[in-house]
């Protein structure tokens, strides 16, 4: 068996690879946003619980 040389990338392959990298980056940003949002919601909830339990 002979090894086949790598075929040169076509512009379509390059664009597809770039799109996948961009999609992964955007998805990571969405997960970070969701994590910070949920963390912030919990901080607000704990402050509200503290305020209600310590109200006169």
Q: Parse the chain into domains and list their residue ranges.
A: 12-56
Give pLDDT, residue 10. 80
The helix (run of H) or strand (run of E) holding residue 23 is: helix 11-53
- pTM as predicted: 0.61
Does residue 8 have a pLDDT over 80? no
Give pLDDT, residue 31. 96
Could you give the CA distance from residue 37 to residue 17 in angstroms, rounded to a whole number? 30
Give pLDDT, residue 46. 98
């Amino acid at each position: 068996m002979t090894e086949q040389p790598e075929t040169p990338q076509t512009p379509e392959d390059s664009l597809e690879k770039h799109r996948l990298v961009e999609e992964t980056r955007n998805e990571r940003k969405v997960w970070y946003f969701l994590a910070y949002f949920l963390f912030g919601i919990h901080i607000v909830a704990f402050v509200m619980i503290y305020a209600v339990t310590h109200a006169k």
